[in-house]
Amino acid sequence: MRRGWLFGAALGLQLLLLSGVIGVKAYTLQTGTPILLKVAPVDPWDAFRGDYARLGYDVSRLEATLLPSGGSTLRPNQSVYVVLRRGNPFWQAVAVSPARPPTGPDEVALKARVIYAGAQGIGLEYGLESFYVPEGRAPELEAPGARGRLSAEVAVDRFGNSAIRRLLIGDEEVRFQPR
């Protein structure tokens, strides 16, 4: 009987953990402020997960001047917040802070992880860099018609968490139809 209880508790804990991970993304998608970011895709392949588009954003490489100390106080893997302000049409980075800063109207604070920082600039990852697509379809995001016109609508919640809502080429949503 004790083993049955332990098995049930372990299973329940795993289900609770999985529900929490899914719940955080669902919360972000449902309640987050939609922002539009300019995207530059790269086309990798993962043996365990298949095709995906590796997405790079204009706000992934920033000037060191956006941080009051010029980027010298940031370390690789450190969590930071990037303040983005509504632009026309893309949101633009206006500040980087190690602590969550207050935001004004038409601004959001997006959580990021530092890749590098110094006088040359600040490199960041947001957890938005992978977008899974049907097998063999990732190159469509790099087609000449998509190049320079690809953007991502991203939801950012009040905690700085983010999730991709959809990809766009120009004003049209990227939809993958069965072949």
> Is residue 13 domain-resident?
no
Q: How far apart are CA 63 and CA 90, in angstroms?
A: 17
> Is residue 19 domain-resident?
no
In order of 8, 63, 67, 135, 160, the CA distances from 91 in angstroms are 47, 16, 18, 31, 15
- Give the model's pLDDT for residue 150: 86
Banded pLDDT at 146 (limits 50, 70, 90) = low
Q: Tens digit of pLDDT for each residue in 23-54?
A: 777 778 788 888 888 887 554 555 545 566 77
Q: Tens digit of pLDDT for each residue in 53-72?
A: 778 899 999 998 887 765 55
The answer to pTM > 0.85 is no
> Is residue 24 domain-resident?
no
> Is residue 56 domain-resident?
yes
Does pLDDT of 160 surpass 80?
A: yes
Contact yes or no for 137/41 (Cβ under 8 A) = no
Both tokens assigned to 87: 């632009």
Structural domains in the chain (count): 1
Question: How many residues in total does the chain contain?
Answer: 179
> Which residue shows structure tokens 């991502």?
152
Nearest Cα to Cα of residue 65 among 107, 87, 96: 96
> Is residue 20 domain-resident?
no
Q: How far apart are CA 149 and CA 159, in angstroms?
A: 29
Assign 81 to helix, strand or coil: strand
Q: Which domain holds residue 92?
A: 32-173
- Phi/psi for 21 (5° steps) reads -65, -45
Q: Tens digit of pLDDT for each residue in 125-145?
A: 999 988 777 776 667 776 666
Contact yes or no for 112/80 (Cβ under 8 A) = yes
- Percent pLDDT > 70 in the chain is 78
* More confident of the two residues 97 and 19: 97
Q: Which residues contact 85 (CB under 8 A, 6 or more apart)?
A: 91, 92, 94, 106, 107
* More confident of the two residues 146 and 109: 109
- Give the model's pLDDT for residue 31: 83
Q: How far apart are CA 29 and CA 12, in angstroms?
A: 26
Q: Where are the alpha helices (DSSP H) in the chain?
A: 2-31
- Give the model's pLDDT for residue 96: 92
> Is residue 138 domain-resident?
yes
> Is residue 21 domain-resident?
no
> Is residue 82 domain-resident?
yes
